[in-house]
Structure 1
């Protein structure tokens, strides 16, 4: 795959329910999937925020150059400005490999530009298909048909909305996969396979 993946990640409780913005004093250290010890979680009060297993593997393989041309960005409908602050602070602390944070990888992909669409305050909205993804397309120049989207929302079908609406003139659009239990390694591989089939014009 040489496409960007727009992947949802994290947490054990909804961001808007968490009480505090994590800082360096709130990190949890542990094994980063065999790549060494680093920041595997951050605490917001008594609630832990961490990467799902598939998100960590995806970001590690991406950072190692396994998918030439792939870039990663986030489309999150964080409920409140405070929830957005919690999410962004977490991304700047959680590590992909020792010393390299999720935010480092995101910034490397886009030459230091923040193209991520996080939140639902204007100009964003709760509907990713009408705001987050059109804005991602504009900010990145990446066609909808070159996007792979993972989403773990359990109260609505963002994937259905995005794949149904975000299409190019030729009818091809975003490839998406719902991950209601979070992005696991198997779901990440399944998404890559679905994307490859869509690019090849094979039914998925």
Structure 2
């Protein structure tokens, strides 16, 4: 799992929070999943991640409430290596899908800080294994008794039907399902490691986006909010 310095992230969180208190906030924040909120990617798994993995819900506090922080694939065997990763296989290592620490902290901030109470959460993912993605969304907790599924208002996952390898279809459906929330009222986070979804969605709809090539960090989360507020002024 990708690592972040919790002390540095906590410091960044405090500084960014104080500097962004008065900015306008987006109506909808749209997150990518693979390599943005969590790791590994769904197509790298050998099967359905269906076994809950417990741990501290707050990655900066070992004494925090214990909850479901990951979802594990039952089998220890997997397909041939992808991108050089070896999340589980012949060496006996486990395949566990977990949120990046910064992503977990950003999501916890969204559900615990009253300032963000009016923001709706959406996900836009071109996952090759949408059923795996949904299993993780349904199982992983952000706060005690609160799963990702509970947080998400609009979920567009996959590449079938109106959805393709571009995310334009994902955003059109989010726009429709939200009752027509203007695209300029959305903020988008995506790793963009395989395709420039942030640039594509900005050109197509004018949605402000932030690239998260190493997985979402708190610094990137707060920077996105600050950028959004600046453009609204």
- Common fold by TM > 0.5: yes
- Which of 151, 154, 167 is matched with 1:105 structurally? 151
User: Does residue 124 in structure 1 map to residue 163 in structure 2?
Assistant: yes
- Please list every run of at least 4 consecutive aligned residues from structure 1 whose deviation after the TM superposition is greater than 3 angstroms: 9-12
- Give 1:188 deviation, angstroms: 0.5
- Give 1:2 deviation, angstroms: 4.4
- Residue 133 of structure 2 is matched in structure 1 by 87
- Give 1:29 deviation, angstroms: 1.0
- Residue 39 of structure 2 is matched in structure 1 by 12
Does the residue aligned with 1:126 lie in a helix, a strand or coil?
coil
- Work out the CA distance in 2 between the residues paired with 1:156 and 1:150: 13
- Residue 53 of structure 1 is matched in structure 2 by 101
Structure 1: gaps (5+ residues) = 167-172
- Work out the CA distance in 2 between the residues paired with 1:13 and 1:102: 17
Is this contact kept in 1: 2:26–2:187, CA < 8 A?
no
Is this contact kept in 2: 1:2–1:67, CA < 8 A?
no
- Which of 144, 157, 176 is matched with 2:183 structurally? 144
Q: Note the alpha carbon deviations across 1:96-120, whole angstroms, 9 max, x for none.
A: 01211110122xxx4xxxx311011
- Residue 56 of structure 2 is matched in structure 1 by 31
Aligned residues: CA RMSD: 1.5
Q: Note the alpha carbon deviations across 1:108-135, whole angstroms, 9 max, x for none.
A: xx4xxxx311011111111102x11111
- Residue 133 of structure 1 is matched in structure 2 by 171
- Work out the CA distance in 2 between the residues paired with 1:8 and 1:145: 18
| Highest RCO, 1 vs 2 (Cα 8 Å, sep ≥ 6) | 2
